[in-house]
Structure 1
Amino acid sequence: MSKKLIITEKPSVAADVARALGGFVRNDDYYESDEYILASAIGHLLELACPEEYEVKRGKWSFAHLPVIPPHFALQPIAKTEPRLKVLVRLIKRKDVTSLINACDAGREGELIFNYIVQHSAAAKPVERLWLQSMTPQAVRDGFLRLRNGTEMSGLGDAAVCRSESDWLVGINGTRAMTAFNSKTGGFHLTTVGRVQTPTLALIVDREDRIRKFKPRAYWELEGVFGCAAGEYRGKWFDEKFKGKDDDEHARADRLWDQACGQMLQQKCSGKIGEVSEESKASTQLSPLLYDLTSLQREANGRFGFSAKATLGLAQALYEKHKVLTYPRTDARALPEDYRPTVCSTLAMLTGEGVGKGHDEATLARYAPFAGRILAANWVVPNKRIFNNAKISDHFAIIPTLQAPKHLSEPELKLYDMVVKRFLAVFYPAAEYLITTRITRVEGEPFKTEGKVLVNPGWLAVYGRDGQEGEEGNLVAVAPQERVRAEEMVLSSHQTRPPARYSEASLLTAMEGAGKAMDDEELRAAMAGRGLGTPATRAQIIENLIAEQYLLREGRELQPTAKAFSLMTLLNGLGIPELTAPELTGEWEWKLARMERGEMSRSDFMREIAAMTQRIVDRAKSYDSDSIPGDFGELSTPCPKCAGLIKETYKKFQCQSCDFSLWKIVASRQFEAAEIEELLTRRKVGPLSGFRNKMGRPFNAIVQLNAENVPEFDFGQSATGDDGAVEVVDFSQSEALGACPKCGARVFAHGMAYVCEKSQGPTKSCDFRSGTIILQQAVEPEQMQKLLSTGRTDLLRNFVSARTRRKFSAYLVRGSDGKVGFEFEKREPKPAAKQSRTSTNDVASDEVAALPAKAAVRRRKTTT
């Protein structure tokens, strides 16, 4: 008897199909019934490889064998899933299997997975296509009643293969070409590029470049404290004529850019009588949409600091191992329109009723009141915001399954809790607020006060906000026609801040929205809903950039390395914008969409890709490292060997008359031209921060030229002569910063530390020493002067914990024992809390005194 072989993309889908169709008997690796054999892949089982006869074994990292454009591609099994591939090939070749049913996910990747398996098996059996958006039993049964002919999917299949082969061509040839270029001058310098990886890196480098070039501007804000019969309230002055930011991203209606103007307003309004007008209006706020993978990764990073990769791993475990979440690798935030009965069943499970023993009763108890109320109020109704087939591709939003949770780890429980609360909240009514805007006019000058009161929590109740308690801005009442008095006018100074570095959360958002600013409408439309990468690949792209040393993960920040800046300089200099801008992805998506509709042939598309690949390689072959165009200049300081002219190039600062040169990147840090000028002029520069040792740990150092004009690190320790004797330091030409808190002698800046004059030389009698850089925070001489004279510095905001890599703010203070420690600012609204102090343990630099610095941070965390 002939049978049809059904191949799904995942084991869980195979199990769903078996339950829906019925009549199957489970074997070890597949299901079988009278009519069907049912088996699954485990995602991708095969990957592209260059055919043996075209692959270069020796010298593949040189230009001699580039570009590699094979006339066809070979498929090779992915090692860890090869046993599953062998099972599928054996089933395909069974004599009683007369046709195949492609039941892989309804999208480009699902089509590719199935087509590669069939191609590898060399089978020529008829194919039908099951196309599902919902996995309810009825939807599965209906899908089998309307199977499509496999030939109808040829356009989608061609687009899937073209995308895969194009990524291979650009990635392999681009990486080998850039590696060959960077290795011309010696050594092997692996320089990876990719269609998605490199534009993503370009986003981060561009943001870091804006941060480095940012120049803060001073501005002032004027806040009035107004007294009325019921008490006091505050209001901030604002410009009623303000129309918008125009070209100034920092412009705000409540910012004053002239201190004198602020002082004039302060004097004008202080102590005067004001008239009050108020306007109140109701406002509603809908719950957020259900999670897709990107929004789940973004929020988990923001709330718990989970990396995108960690969140994906947890979600995958909750799906595969615990079976408590639906498939997580999705870009949809809606559910199928026939999913309402499944939702009601899931809510019933969350009430805990009818759930067997062994589940986590305490966890379900948290959700039961909300799930019960949704069911009792009949809030699961048709709603296009929640149930919408048009907003689903091959997978729907992430929601809890009918399986009750048990034995979840703490991180798994945190993620499960996020998904369940979002699932419950989406069916609740909107939160209702009363928003009051109060304008207090003093001498004709307006001051705005805003209050927001939660009237009905709606969906916020799921998150524990069930009333007005804790709501900010509950205003002191002002009676009608009551006049108030400006008791105080506070003029505060501020500075504009540079854009924040990307966190994984904000980078995922940027990748998801890449292309929205494109000028070309067709390319912008092609990128809509896609962005850079897919929800399933974005986490790995970030991890790859870190593994290739293009990025550093500093706490929750992602910081580009000198290698990343060097790559962008190279690609921009070579004139290869296709690899740095999302337009390449947009153009590909537009053409692949045309191919899916039958408007473009596979051969035409691949011909264009081959031409682009050839162009990338040709551009790299056309230049040497010292001829790459770029924003390079000349140094004003002459060469220390021959007094010749020194020019900046892609990799070096190179003398034009002799062999003297200085590398631009040393210990993962790139020198700026001004720093090299200082090094050549003074024969030393620093202390400088941002260096990294071989373990990836940051350190600070002075760089100085030795007698042979070779740069060396100087960590600011006591110098010794050739005979091993400690040299006497001459402070006669230096300016004293104050009295030593230990012995009363003078304190000077020396190397990478502020030291007591009696701590140097062979007869030292004092050990006072405090770093010029402490936990990556520069301590300027004027701050050390304040510390020595008043006992503490200003509030310094850029300390970085050596353990958590997170920034924190603190004062440096002088202890009674003369040691320098931390004092942390009081946190409002806890005025009674004591300030905590922590010793810096005489930290001289992050590298030289790493252990004391870490200890200081640990104590700091226990006392705040």
Structure 2
Amino acid sequence: MTKTLIIAEKPSVALDISRALGGMHREGDYFENDQYVLSSSVGHLLTLTNPDDVVRGKWSFNHLPAIPAKAFDLKPSDKKATDRLKMLVRLLKRKDVSAVINACDAGREGELIFRYIIQYAGVNKPIKRLWLQSMTRNAIIEAFDNLRDDSVMKPLEAAARSRAEADWLIGINGTRAMTAFNSKDGGFFKTPIGRVQTPTLAIVFEREEKIRQFKSRDYWEVHATFVAAGGLYEGKWFDPAFKKDEHDPEKKDNRLWSAASAQSVVVACRHKDGTVTEESKPSTSMSPGLFDLTSLQREANSRFGFTAKTTLALAQSLYERHKALTYPRTDSRYLPEDYQGTVRQTFEAIVGAESLLARRNAPFAKKILQNSWIKPNKRIFDNKKISDHFAIIPTLQVPKELSEAEAKIYDLVTKRFMAVFFPPAEFRVTTRITVVASHHFKTEGKVLIKPGWLEIYGRDNQESDATLVPVAENETVKTEDIVAKELATRPPARYTEATLLSAMEGAGKLVDDDELREAMSERGLGTPATRATIIEGLLNEQYLRREGRELIPTAKARQLMTLLVGLNVRELTSPELTGEWEHKLKQMEQGQLDRAAFMREIAQSTQIIVKRAKEYEQDTVPGDYATLTTPCPACGGVVKENYRRYACTKCDFSITKHPGGRTFEIPEVEELLQNKTLGPLNGFISKMGRPFSAILRITAENKLEFDFGQSDDDNSEPLDVSQLTPVGHCPKCTGNVYDTGMSYVCENSVSEKKTCDFKSGRVILQQEISHEQMGKLLSQGKTDLLDGFVSNRTNRKFKAYLAMSKAGKIEFEFEPRPAKTAKAASKSAAKTASKTAAKSAATKAEADSGKAVKKAVKKTARKTASKTATKKTAVKKAAAKKVASKTATARKQTAKTADPDDTEPAF
């Protein structure tokens, strides 16, 4: 009997499918029954191979452009992917496997993951597509009943491959060309660019330039307090004849641009009588639409300060692990037109659930059901507004236990889901105009009449935002008080993740071409699933930095924008390129565009980008460069910035802008020139591609050099610590410990006799150890939990304490984990294995015979399951004990091993 192999995108999805299908037994990393073999990828197992000429060091124009002559080669994404690939290839090549079902995530990326695995395996077997929108059992079974033919998916495959290959061509060639250009004078200055990454950076950079160039202007507002028969109210002066000025958006109807003008209004109206007219009209406010991923990320950032990456991870957990939300990586805010029944069932599930979170929302869900508010509505149900996935909504599976962060996201989605079915909020908006001595003053009030959907968010009473005292029509009032307030215009606000996500989503507005703008109106820059990664990538590449919630472009970003404009590669800074790609990829998905023609155009664009960088022959790149305020340390002259260096205008003093591949910020250069020393600083990259920290110094010969701290050489000069302040006492000899720049050292280790050897790095794995923390380590034996360590091997951040051993060695100590976790996991796994084995045996028995046979088999199954569970429990306990032993060792790892992934000295 032949079988069908099902390949999911993640192990958790494969597990859900196995439970939905039933009767499957587990064989390591795959499941199997008489009909199916089921396994999964672990995300992207394969990636496009990079050119062979680059491993480390300087990237050269000699091998550019890199454009594969034939098909793109694939390679495993990492070492962990290799074992999973071997297993999948073995399953694909099994003789009893006659067909394959693609159960990866519905969309371009899921299609690409599956197609790469098939290509890598080199098999040619019939394929069907499982299109999952939700991970509930009913949704999975329904999807299996409606498998899609492979021929229908070929256009999506073409678009997925084309997107990946085009990104590779532009990203690889662009990054290496710009890096080669920036590294002409020596060193290695990595300059990453990307089709979506670079236009996104340009949006933030342009806003920062507007802020930098902004010049504040003073203006005045006139505020008055009036006395009516019913009481006091306030009004603000305005010009009823005002017209908007397109060339000066700062002009508004309530602003006066001179103190004299404002004062003349005050004088004219002080203690004068005025007349009142009033207009009051009803107003309604509809609830916001359902969430797509980008709007959810924006809301979570605004409300809770969650980064886009964090929100995506939480939503993915609620989808995969808890089955509580539908597929989160969606760009649609609508539901299918035939989804009204499911919506009704979802509200019934919320009403019937027992969890605290559900009980809070149950009254609103019950109200929706009782009032029959679920009905056809294009604002909610619209097939034309759905491409791959529909909006994010709760599923029928209401979660019982969530983490605090997961609960916040779930509640956010649930409340929005309920709100769209509630009636609009109703207000009465009142505009009152008071005229005094021919001058007009406006007073506005807004009274909530019916809360509608606002009831869900706590606005269940009739509240007023600005309740006005009553006045009669044309009542005469008196000016009780009037004052001119001096104010100043403000620059535009910096981007936060929430506002940048909005800008990326609406990037089509920046595109002039109508057709491209329409294409981008649906997707914008990037996709909902990739925008968080793009922002994190810009932060990791040090193009952006976070200050609070604000995103600020760095000097490295300014350098890149200057280069791309100077080389006339403006298409990489504009959303136009993405708009054009999205337009053509959409045509390809619909079978209206040939993939080969699209890729030829991408190859041509790649050639042009490399050619412009390679053939640029001017000494510098034109740009808006800074003039420093600190004088030249050599001659006192003026130091100016150019594209590559900071150079004196009077003498030959100059320093590079990118020592060790790290770009100076202007304030850092000013400090370096002033003090002739700077640091310690992180972010330098060695010739071998490893990060390091150092102090920068300007020598007596006015040359820039790295200072890595006091030499360990026995012949080095003793260090004079007479002018230094101790940070604590040495754990080895009780001598004073001093900060010497790059290290904390015992005074007896740098004395002439060198009777002690205590020394610790001031910067450890890119985490700076402050005087306060070193003081705690020396006096209390342990620092606070520090979260800025970065592994040398994996480049991942991790948290740890620094602890002092009895021998005076500094060790890493990690946050404690409950010792029972491994044991609990073993019990849970054994219990699951027991149930699965029993269920599998019972199901098979029922298919083979009648009721009596089924009972007998169930009894046998229970015995077998019990033996299996006992055996697995023993194995798992042994494994857990081994892991616990290794974990204990790792948690007391000495600082000389850097972090759990490293074996190189860190101090």
TM-score of the pair, normalised by structure 1: 0.73
Moved more, 318-327 or 455-464: 318-327
| Matching residue of 1:257 | 257
Work out whether 1:157 is the aligned partner of 2:144. Answer: no
Over 3 Å counting, the alpha-carbon distance change for 1:646 and 1:465 in structure 2 is closer
| 3-state SS in 2 of match to 1:694 | strand
C-alpha contact 1:276 1:482 (8 A) present in aligned 2: yes
One-letter identity of the residue aligned with 1:234? E
**What is the CA distance between 1:234 and its match in structure 2?**
0.7
Q: SS at the partner of 2:509?
A: coil
Picking from 375, 394, 403, the partner of 1:400 is: 394
Is the aligned partner of 1:69 residue 2:63? no
Q: Which digits, 9 at most, give the CA deviation of each residue in 1:670-727, with x for residues without a partner?
A: 4499x98xx9xxx987999xx9862589xxxxx99998667999xxxxxxxxx9999x
How far apart are 1:475 and its partner, in Å? 0.6
Aligned pairs (5 A) from 1:122-137: 122-130=122-130
Are residues 481 and 685 of structure 1, via their aligned partners in 2, closer, same or farther at CA, if it must alter by over 3 Å?
same
Equivalent pair of 1:133/1:392 in contact (CA under 8 Å): no
Structure 1 residue 137: Cα displacement: 7.6
Change over 3 Å in CA distance of 1:288–1:635 after alignment to 2: closer
Residue identity matched to 1:73: F
Query: In the TM superposition, what is the alpha-carbon distance from 1:260 to its structure 2 partner?
Result: 1.4
Q: Does the CA contact (< 8 Å) of 1:136 and 1:339 recur in 2?
A: no
Tell me how far apart the structure 2 counterparts of residues 345 and 4 of structure 1 sit (CA, whole Å). 33
Q: CA deviation at 1:661?
A: 2.3
How many angstroms apart in 2 are the aligned matches of 1:311 and 1:634? 42
Measured in 1, the distance between the counterparts of 2:481 and 2:651 equals 68
The yes-or-no answer on 1:434 pairing with 2:428 is yes
Cα separation, partners in 2 of 1:635 and 1:686, compared to 1, 3 Å: closer
CA deviation map 1:604-654 (0-9, x unaligned): 222222222222222222236833233469999999979999875312244
Corresponding residue for residue 861 of structure 1: none
Is the Cα–Cα contact under 8 Å of residues 631 and 638 in structure 2 kept in the other structure? yes
Q: Equivalent of 1:587, from 580, 584, 603?
A: 580
Counterpart Cα distance in 2 of 1:204 and 1:539 = 15
Task: Return the alpha-carbon distance in structure 1 between the equivalents of residues 445 and 675 of structure 2.
Answer: 50
Aligned to 1:78: 77
Q: Which residue is equivalent to 2:360?
A: 366
Q: How far apart, in 1, do the equivalents of 2:209 and 2:455 lie?
A: 43
Percent of aligned pairs with the same residue?
Answer: 58
Correspondence 1:504-523 to 2 at 5 A? 504-523=497-516
Whether contact under 8 Å (1:200, 1:511) holds in the other structure is yes
CA change 1:137–1:304 in 2 (3 A) is: closer
Supply the distance in 1 between the matched residues of 2:287 and 2:25 (Cα, whole angstroms). Answer: 42
- The range that moved more, 32-41 or 160-169, is 32-41
- Farther off after superposition, 290-299 or 138-147: 138-147
Local SS of the residue matching 1:372: helix
Q: For 2:335, what is the secondary structure of its paired residue?
A: coil
The answer to whether the 8 Å contact 1:325/1:398 transfers is yes
- The equivalent position to 1:419 in structure 2, one of 413, 419, 439, is 413
**Alignment partner of 1:616 out of 609, 617, 633:** 609
What SS does the corresponding residue of 2:466 show, helix, strand or coil? coil
5 Å matches for 1:550-589? 550-589=543-582
Deviations, residues 263-321 of structure 1 (Å, cap 9, x unaligned)? 11111112111111111111111111111111111111111111111111222222223
Cα separation, 1, equivalents of 2:252 and 2:277: 22
The DSSP-based 3-state class of the residue aligned with 1:241 is: coil
Letter in 1 for 2:390: F
Change (3 A) 1:42 1:383: farther
Residues 752-799 of structure 1 show CA distances to partners (whole Å, capped at 9, x for unaligned) of xxxxxxxxxxxxxxxxxxxxxxxxxxxxxxxxxxxxxxxxxxxxxxxx
Q: How does 1:269-280 map to 2 (within 5 A)?
A: 269-280=269-280
Q: Which residue of 1 is the match for residue 526 of structure 2?
A: 533
- Structure 2 residue aligned with 1:694: 681
Task: Write the distance in 1 (CA, Å) between the matches of 2:636 and 2:359.
Answer: 79
**Matched position secondary structure for 2:605:** helix
What secondary structure does 1:113 align onto?
helix
Larger deviation, residues 615-624 vs 527-536: 615-624
Instruction: Say yes or no: does 1:661 pair with 2:654.
Output: yes
Provide the residue aligned with 1:735 in structure 2. Answer: none
Q: Report 1:830-845 matches (<5 A).
A: none
The change in CA–CA distance for 1:370 and 1:57 in structure 2 (over 3 A counts) is closer
Query: How far 1:189 sits from its partner (Å)?
Result: 1.6
Q: 1:229 to 1:539 in 2, by over 3 A?
A: same
- Find the aligned partners of 2:238 and 2:88 in 1 and give their Cα distance: 70
Q: Distance in 1 between matches of 2:116 and 2:279?
A: 65
Report the Cα distance in structure 1 between the residues aligned to 2:603 and 2:506, rounded to whole angstroms: 28
Q: TM-score, normalised by structure 2?
A: 0.70
Residue number in structure 2 paired with 1:382: 376
CA deviation map 1:550-572 (0-9, x unaligned):
11111000111111111111111
The separation in 1 between residues aligned to 2:705 and 2:477, in whole angstroms, is: 67
Equivalents in 2 of 1:633, 1:561: separation in Å?
14
Counterpart of 2:485, as a letter, is S
Q: CA deviation at 1:450?
A: 0.6
- What's the offset of the Cα at 1:404? 2.9
Q: Which moves more between the two structures, 368-377 or 57-66?
A: 57-66
Letter in 2 for 1:367: N
The answer to whether the 8 A contact 2:175-2:192 is kept is yes
Structure 1 distance, partners of 2:438, 2:414, is: 52
Q: Assess if the C-alpha contact under 8 Å between 1:626 and 1:650 holds in 2.
A: no
Deviates more, 1:625-634 or 1:119-128: 625-634
What's 1:815 paired with? none
Rounded to whole Å, the distance in 1 between the matches of 2:129 and 2:358 is 40
Tell me, in whole angstroms, the C-alpha distance in 2 between the residues paired with 1:131 and 1:435. Answer: 48
Q: 1:250 to 1:671 in 2, by over 3 A?
A: same
In structure 1, the residue matched to 2:335 is 335
Note the alpha carbon deviations across 1:49-96, whole angstroms, 9 max, x for none. Answer: 137xx5545766122222222223222233445554444433322323
Q: 2:549, 2:679 → 1: CA distance?
A: 19
CA shift in 2, pair 1:587/1:639, >3 Å: same
Change (3 A) 1:638 1:102: closer
Which stretch has the larger CA shift, 510-519 or 314-323?
Answer: 314-323
Distance in 2 of aligned mates of 1:196 and 1:74: 23
Match of 2:582, SS state, is: helix
Contact kept, 8 Å, 2:282 with 2:428, in 1: the verdict is: yes
Compare 525-534 and 142-151 and name the one that shifted more.
142-151
Counterpart pick for 2:598 among 593, 605, 609: 605
The answer to which of 239-248 and 284-293 deviates more is: 239-248
Give the paired residue count. Answer: 698
More deviation, 653-662/287-296: 653-662
5+ residue gaps in structure 2?
Answer: 685-695, 707-719, 724-786, 788-907
Summarize the Cα distance change of 1:459–1:633 in structure 2 as closer, same or farther, 3 Å threshold: closer
* Range moving further from structure 2, 302-311 or 34-43: 34-43
* 1:561-603 superposed Cα distances (whole Å, 9 cap, x missing partner): 1111111111111111122111111121222233334444323
Distance in 2, Cα, partners of 1:314 & 1:132? 19
In 2 relative to 1, CA 58–189 (structure 1 residues): closer, same or farther, beyond 3 Å? closer
Q: Residues 220 and 274 (structure 1 numbering): CA distance in 2 closer, same or farther, change over 3 Å?
A: same
Q: Which residue of 1 aligns with 2:24?
A: 25
- Amino acid across the alignment from 1:694: L
Taking the aligned partners of 2:524 and 2:600, their CA distance within structure 1 comes to 24
Secondary structure, aligned partner of 1:484: strand
